[in-house]
Structure 1
Amino acid sequence: MDIKRSLVFAFAVCNLSLYFGQEKMIDTVYIFDNQMNKVKLFHKVNTLTSADIQKNSSNLSEVLRFQSPVYIKENGRGAVSSPSFRGTTAQQTAFVWNGININSQFLGQGDVNNIALFGYDQMEVKSGGGSVIYGSGAIGGSIHLNNDLNFNQGFKGTFNSEIASFGTFNNFLKASYSNEKFSFKASGSHSISQNEYEVPESRNYINRNGKYYNTNFNFAAAYKIAPFHQISWISETFDGNQHYPVFFESQTPTRYETQNFRSLLSWDWKTSKFNNILRAAYTEENFQYFANLDQPRTSGGLGKNYIVKNDFNYFINPKWNVNIIGEFQQNQGKGIGTSGITDISRNVASVAGLLRYVTSSTISFEAGIKKDFVEGFDSPVLYSFSGKWKAANWYQVNLNVSKNFRFPSFNDLYWQPGGNPDLRPETSIQTDMDHEFKLGDFQLTLSPYYIRIKDMLRWMSTPMGYWSPFNTNQVESYGLESQLTYQKQINQHHIKLNAGYIFTKSKDLEINKQLMYVPLHKIFGNLDYNYRFIRIYAQGMFNGLTYTDSNEKKSDALQSYFVMNAGISGTILKKYTMGFKVNNIFDEIYETMAYYPMPKRNYSINFNINF
């Protein structure tokens, strides 16, 4: 990575509504994604803490599979993995790192298992469109990887180490220091697994050549240079290596390597009447594919993104505020080897305006409009509207309507042979309504939704013998997301429940068939029990019948399955924690991707120390 020549500075403006007055008064936590608190006012967002993530420490795929409404298809444990929100595809899912969209400029998506699991202070999963704020690809939903910085906390640290089945070792170290004006945090993680598990009941499957390993480093700092001014910086590097499984020993083993770098610098200016964040970011992706494990790379790519963003929020009065967001990006790409992609670049700019009326009483709303200027494309005007009505102490309803889009990736346009420079951006119209019910310590959310996608990009075979992308599909997706939460503490007993049911009907209107890898039904649940120094948890996930082709052929479909995990841990002297976990307790035989069974029952032990 040519970091020294490529790193640039960017600016953004932090916009915190007066609704968050408590946050401004305390002023002890700095959150890099300043928009997320406002998103939570009108949208259902699942927030996963570091403790939640630790339950599924194998990889990010496991976290999302067992603790969110997202469907994850994975080519075997730790291999290529992609998400699906509300019947859409991985390209219609935005990965957002501290407010910056990090989907690959080549693939137009994020590979879940090539995104670090550790190093984030929280992970947030938002269903529904968000292109007005988070840009291209935020159609089905978005996955947010967030960091924060604390002030006046002194020195803190944590170390976690895990040993698991299949020769798996995970290690994570984090340390931070802060005083009244300065805050610094650093973390590093390393994961490695031989990953050669067996599932003899499924065609005598052996996960040959399944090894993977990755290393990740995070650094962040903030300094209050004046009463109303703060400079903040965060940087992340990721180095990953995946060996792709082969079905027979006679097959040639392959592998994939990726190196990613991200850096973000911001200047926050806060007064009683306005907030401004000037932000500059640089992201880089490198990847190499090896058609033979021990031979030189066959193909690859290098992508660089330079981003400048300004976020200005003006408080008209305690209830009304206006938010103006301007952004400019330059996307650069260079293919290596057989891709046929030469040096390419494009400029992307956007301006968005949002008007918010926020109160603590009955009604609040947000209206937004955005225009993107993407080099080589006619981009549509996007809009969003969100309203909240608190009808009673026990009932609240949120309505969301939006128009979202995704412009073609570098591979869609320039891959040789097959790239299609005449593609149009995908657009979608969608609406959802969150009905929130509260009864004692229970909270139930029911969210019916509807999505209509136009000009969906799809790679299809051509008469010339190669594949090429076309704007072909008209897709309609509708269904229901529901979530039930419960928390109760009696003396030293603490119980927490988080469960969800998702129904998804997603049809290709041309043939009126369910899309591939979109299950009709998914259920997930997590139950935690804490008593003094003991913690016990269990989690389960049911996935219904899932078609693997576009013709609803049941004989080739993935059969429904139920997988359950459980763990126990104990803490001594408030610093030392030892835990044991069993994954797939009932030894379920299941696949999330055709022909790639997931592991049967397996185990892990972990040790954590806080200092």
Structure 2
Amino acid sequence: MGLIQCSLYAQNDSIDLIETIGPEVSIEGVLSASTILLTKSSDNSVCDPLSQQIGIQIQTQGGPYLRTALYRGQSARHMAILWEGVNIQNSFNGTYDLGLIPSILFSNSKWFDGGQSANVGTAAMSGALMLAYDNSQPLISAGLKFSDQGNRRINFRVHQKSGRLFQTLQASLLDNENAFRYQSRDTIARRRNSDHNQLDLTYRASVQWSNSMSTNINYWYQDLERMLSPSTIASNLAYQKDRNHRFSIGHDWQWSPKLYWSTKLAFMNEYIGYMQPGIESLAESNIVNFNSKLKINGYVDHLIGVAIRYENGELVDTINPSFKSFFPERITSAVYYKGTVKIDKTTISLSLRQESIDDDVQRPIGQLALKFDQFDRLSYTLNLGRHYSYPGFNDLYWPTGGNPDLITEKSWQIEGGISIYGLIVKVYKINTSDKILWAPNEQAVWTPENISSTESSGFEIKYNGKLNIRKNIGVTLIPMVNYNHTVNSTEGVNKGNELLYNPKFKFRLRGVFQYKQISLSIDRSYTGRRFQTLDNKDKLDPYNLLSAELNYKWNKDQKYSAEIYLGARNIFDETFELVSFFPQPLRTIYIGFIFSI
């Protein structure tokens, strides 16, 4: 759990820095916020603002392919993605495609860095992304976006208030060709067969029964189809179709100024269809999640809660007779506690969690956080915790190699930080054991085992600087430096080698220049080399990227507003790969428009 919070609020891409440090309870009442994402109208998905957070590496083969996040040497399966307090990471493979989450629909999302297992449960060893709506947006808004890759996006939002009822309907429609340019030997080629069509609908309703009681309903529907073009050395085109329903209902009751109760029930039905020659894999999962918590404020603030999660699934292949279908299910129950006390200048926060999987009681875990405010602009933080991640259904039950004897992945993490006059420095150490690794056995069958352990250490430095030259002229500079050294500590020939795709060094400089309603943002980033084989003999080269965006916003009598933006990514046509033989786009130009009342 990261204790240094840096909050960025943006309009017209201008940035007002509000620096707060320490364990601040979020709207979910469980987490301590680390960073509020800086989202823009031009963002394609939550990958864009996440990639601008210090130390996060977005990993993808490009175009319509899966996008995941690596952080502090932990893999994609170790990051929780929370919607209405429920982790929506896939029950089968433990990952969720971040590229499928439109940031324009969840523009108040938060990123919580560092382990969060004691707060949210399994699969949060590297952190948690909490998806959240922005209730302060206009009553009606609509937007269009186009890019030279043949990509188009339409979005709209309608908000209504009628007596005690508040309703919000949002929609985002993508029609993407992903026909980007890339370097192919000595020529410039254009990517084809990468279409991605997606519809997202969200509905949110709240009934305010009284000043102290409300009921909330949320629904999120996704429907998408995409063509997965092959690498530059293959020809097997694949096709994927997803359809997801997510529904939640919750009730909040402020009994008194010191007593608050909240309960929420969520249901999710998720379907993934994957087709390529010889394979037609259909996976469907259902999740029912119940969470109830009581918060008691006093000299010590107490939060006590219970959570029950039931999940089942079905994985079949309709054309491959050798594939044996399986139908897994699991019940996870938990009781958790968080206590926070402030003594003079010191804030102490303790989180505890006890879980069981079916009838198997897990080892209790805990997290301790300390913050010392020496004076207004100087704070020190220390965080120590134990974290965990359960095996996925594929790990346990895959027909040709699943291992039902797998145990939980575990890690110890310690982090210290200092914040002084806008400069934020964090250092950390992570030891992970029983890591699940898929490898061929003596019969050449790929199967997972708890045979891997890793050691990770590093530091993160960020400075927030803002200069107001005149009343209508401002400059904001945000440099970020990240160093991470994660190695395999398992006995064997690869002991001491670095993990795959994990950059050891990253640097980013973001500048925003504003004059009245016009702003120009410039983003320069450097990502160091990354190994892509366990023996560290094969690596991907470092790369530099430069992006820029020009934005103009017009307001009329505080009732109407219009925004237009023009931007470019990878301005200097840098050639780079995140996975071998899957080139990333060269320069991309985009333009967009938003109207609000």
Shared fold (TM-score greater than 0.5)? yes
Deviation at 1:250, TM superposition (A): 7.8
Work out whether residues 231 and 582 of structure 2, in 8 Å CA contact, stay in contact via their aligned partners in 1. Answer: no
- Deviations 1:338-387 (CA, angstroms, capped at 9, x unpaired): 5634222111100011111147x511111121110112645221101111
Give the Cα–Cα distance (whole angstroms) in 2 for the partners of residues 312 and 288 of structure 1: 40
- Please state how far the C-alpha of 1:203 moved relative to its aligned partner: 7.6
1:445-594 paired onto structure 2 within 5 Å: 445-489=424-468, 490-510=470-490, 511-553=495-537, 556-574=538-556, 575-594=561-580
Change (3 A) 1:278 1:251: same
Deviation at 1:179, TM superposition (A): 6.0
Which of 324, 329, 335 aligns to 2:315? It is 335
| Partner SS, residue 104 of structure 1 | coil
Question: Is 1:277 matched with 2:262?
Answer: yes
Q: Report Cα offsets for 1:461-496 as digits up to 9, x if no partner.
A: 122232111101111111012221123444112333
Tell me which protein shows more helix as a share of its residues. Answer: 1
1:311 aligned to 2:293? yes
Matched, 1:230 2:214: yes
Q: Whole-Å Cα distance in 1 between the matches of residues 213 and 563 of structure 2?
A: 40
Equivalent residue for 1:322, pick from 252, 277, 302: 302
The answer for unaligned runs of 5 or more in structure 2 is 1-24
Q: Is the 8 A contact 1:542 1:563 kept in 2?
A: yes
- Determine if contact 1:67/1:526 at 8 Å carries over to the other structure: no
Q: Given the alignment of the two structures, is residue 90 of structure 1 paired with residue 72 of structure 2, yes or no?
A: no
Match of 1:48 in 2: 37
Are residues 1:128 and 2:122 paired? no
Equivalence for 1:10? none
Q: Distance in 2 between matches of 1:428 and 1:464?
A: 31
Q: Could you say which residue in structure 1 is the equivalent of 2:130? A: 144
Check 1:379–1:53 CA distance in 2 against 1; reply closer, same or farther (3 A cut). farther
Distance 1:494 1:219 in 2: 37
**1:284-305 deviations in whole A, cap 9, x for unaligned?**
211000114xx9x700211111
Q: What is the TM-score with the length of structure 2 in the denominator? A: 0.89
- Given candidates 143, 159, 170, the residue that maps to 1:160 is 143
Q: Measure how far apart 1:159 and its partner are.
A: 1.1
Q: Give the aligned partner of residue 20 of structure 1.
A: none
Name the stretch that deviates more: 528-537 or 213-222: 528-537
Distance 2:94 2:554 in 1: 46
Determine if contact 2:547/2:571 at 8 Å carries over to the other structure. yes
Show the counterpart of 2:50: 64
CA RMSD of aligned residues (A): 2.1
The match for 2:179 is 196
CA contact (8 A) 1:259 1:286 kept: yes
Range with greater deviation from structure 2 (338-347 or 515-524): 338-347
Q: Is 2:418–2:424's contact at 8 Å kept on the other side of the alignment?
A: yes
Q: Does the aligned pair in 1 maintain the 2:26–2:32 contact within 8 Å? A: no
SS for the counterpart of 1:208 is coil
Partner of 1:39: 32
Q: Would the aligned equivalents of 2:233 and 2:581 in 1 still touch at CA under 8 Å?
A: no
CA distance in 1, matches of 2:454, 2:359: 25
Partner SS, residue 355 of structure 2: strand
Contact 2:413 2:428 in 1 (8 A): yes
Spell out the pairing of 1:19-418 with structure 2 (5 A cutoff): 33-35=27-29, 39-40=32-33, 45-49=34-38, 52-55=39-42, 57-149=43-135, 156-178=139-161, 181-202=164-185, 206-247=190-231, 251-270=235-254, 271-292=256-277, 298-315=280-297, 317=298, 319-337=299-317, 340-358=324-342, 362-375=345-358, 377-418=360-401
Q: Quick one: distance in 1 between partners of 2:268 and 2:27?
A: 16
Q: Is the 8 A contact 1:184 1:221 kept in 2?
A: yes
Kindly provide the CA deviation profile for residues 426-463 of structure 1, in whole angstroms up to 9, marking residues without a partner as x: 0111011121111xxxx111110111111001111122
Distance in structure 2 (CA, Å) of the matches to 1:35 and 1:213: 36
Post-superposition offset of 1:524: 2.1
Unaligned runs of 5+ in 1: 1-30
Amino acid at match of 1:500: M
CA contact (8 A) 1:131 1:139 kept: yes
For residue 596 of structure 1, report the CA deviation from its aligned partner: 1.1
Cα 1:356–1:32 shift into 2, 3 Å: closer
Question: For residues 569 and 261 of structure 1, what CA distance do their matches in structure 2 show?
Answer: 35
Does the CA contact (< 8 Å) of 1:159 and 1:172 recur in 2? yes
1:259-309 deviation per Cα after TM superposition (whole angstroms, max 9, x unaligned): 1221121110102121000111112211000114xx9x7002111110111
Report the Cα offset of residue 184 of structure 1: 1.4
Q: Which stretch of the first structure deviates more once superposed, 301-310 or 198-207?
A: 198-207
Q: Aligned with 2:47: secondary structure?
A: helix
User: Residue 515 of structure 1 aligns to a residue in which SS?
Assistant: coil
Helix, strand or coil at the partner of 1:59: coil
- The one-letter code sitting in structure 2 at the alignment partner of 1:39 is S
> Post-superposition shift, 1:602?
1.4
Check whether the contact 2:180–2:588 (CA below 8 A) recurs between aligned residues.
no
| Partners of 2:263 and 2:408 in 1: CA distance | 29
Cα deviations by residue, 1:411-437 (Å, 9 ceiling, x for unpaired): 111111111000001011101112111
Closer, same or farther in 2 for the Cα pair 1:432/1:279, shift >3 Å? same
SS of residue in 2 equivalent to 1:53? coil
Residue identity matched to 1:288: G
Distance 2:409 2:581 in 1: 31
| Partner SS for 1:517 | coil
- Identity percentage of aligned residues: 18
Structure 1 CA distance, aligned partners of 2:158 and 2:542? 43
Q: Give how far 1:180 is off.
A: 6.6
Q: 2:104 and 2:594 mapped to 1: Cα distance?
A: 14
Which string of whole-angstrom CA distances, capped at 9 and with x for unpartnered residues, describes residues 523-579 of structure 1?
2232222221211111122100111111121xx311111101101122234412222
Separation of aligned partners in 1, 2:346 and 2:233:
64
Distance 2:339 2:293 in 1: 13
- 2:51 match: secondary structure: helix
1:27 maps to: none
Which whole-Å CA distance do the structure 2 matches of 1:517 and 1:202 have between them?
23
TM-score (norm 1): 0.87
Contact 2:54 2:481 in 1 (8 A): no
Map of 2:8 onto structure 1: none
Residues 523 and 541 in structure 1, CA contact (< 8 A), matched pair in contact too: yes
Specify which structure has the higher proportion of strand.
2
CA distance in 1, matches of 2:85, 2:342: 22
- 1:130, CA displacement in angstroms? 0.4
* Gap change, CA 1:549 and 1:475, over 3 Å in 2: same
1:321–1:572: structure 2 CA closer, same or farther, 3 Å change rule?
closer
Q: Is residue 604 of structure 1 aligned with residue 590 of structure 2?
A: yes
